[in-house]
Chain A
Amino acid sequence: MEVTLSILLGFMIIGAIFALHAKDLLSAVIAAGIVGYSLVICFLLLKAPDLAIVQVVVETITLIIMVAVVLDSTREELKVKIDTQQIFNISLAFIFMLALIFFFVQATDMLNPFGQHSLRMASAYVGETAAKTGSANLVTGVLFDFRGYDTLGEATILFTAAIGVLTILRIKGKK
């Protein structure tokens, strides 16, 4: 189990690195698709079928939007020369990485090994969701009952994003 997940994650890292260094924007977008679709298999292995269904559809729609944008503009990657600004950016990135690695090492002391119980709330949610909401799918029960505010906020964000896209992409005003 852990070995399979490690191989998939390594595959995702290779795909991500290729997406950042590709010379063609279309191949960069498709390499980002590698990462997304590997994530679907990871979710299936981790016993999360809800997430797998959502991720496979959402990844497809994201790819459609990204490919439409890339085909509509340009496919060529910029020709970047290494100058002082670029060196400064790269060193800044490594400083950020070192700081994050420091915090990660600190945080892993608190983390249980993979496959062990990590969150204390889990037993309460697993035990009482079915009895209190009557929903056989516990994820839906948590999502629409105990954490209804999360769902409402998510729907609001989606609504705002749709309005924002409409506003940004409008050329001629509506009468």
Chain B
Amino acid sequence: MIVYILCFVLFLVGLYGVITRRNLVKIVISLSIMEFSIFIFLALIGYIDGGIAPIITGQDINPTYVDPLPQAMVLTAIVIGLATTAMLMAIAIRLYRKYGTFDIREIKNLKG
């Protein structure tokens, strides 16, 4: 049970960063930390004690495989995470070029 709680703490750290940080780069980092905690949580749910990786080799007799479904879902989520991070970074660098700062509050005041 302790692993689930630590996983949840990691998610909370990311949430705290998203709400309280003012630097755009740090907000992106916090978002990716939240993503990581979700990945590890899904992988933990799929784990079975004494299980082996879900690949059929034909050498094991009566094998127990870990659950392949959460792994397949996390596999797509990782690549989507890369796509969103790259897009957010592109937006951040464009905003920096326009306003000269990463501070979201200053960018909000400068609008118009």
Contact = CB atoms under 8 A, between A and B. Distances in A.
A97 B94 CA distance: 32
Contacts of A6: 2-3, 6
Main SS at interface, chain B: helix
Main SS at interface, chain A: helix
Given A42-B43, A119-B69, A54 B86 contact: no
A139 B71 contact: yes
A108 to B, nearest CB: 7
Nearest to B21: A20
Interface residues of A, number: 88
Range class of the B interface residue count? 35 or more
Given A39-B40, A139-B72, A168 B91 contact: yes
B3 A47 contact: no
Given A20-B21, A143-B72, A93 B16 contact: yes
A158 B83 contact: yes
Contact of B20 (A89, A137, A160): A89
A157 B14 CA distance: 23
30 contacts: A16-B13, A16-B33, A17-B13, A19-B17, A29-B25, A32-B29, A36-B32, A39-B36, A47-B47, A48-B46, A48-B71, A51-B43, A58-B82, A62-B82, A62-B86, A69-B93, A78-B103, A80-B22, A90-B20, A96-B15, A96-B19, A111-B4, A115-B47, A122-B67, A126-B67, A138-B56, A139-B71, A160-B83, A162-B83, A168-B91
Given A25-B25, A73-B102, A139-B54, 17 more contacts: A16-B33, A28-B29, A32-B33, A46-B47, A47-B51, A51-B39, A54-B78, A66-B85, A93-B19, A114-B1, A115-B48, A138-B56, A151-B76, A157-B80, A157-B83, A160-B83, A168-B87
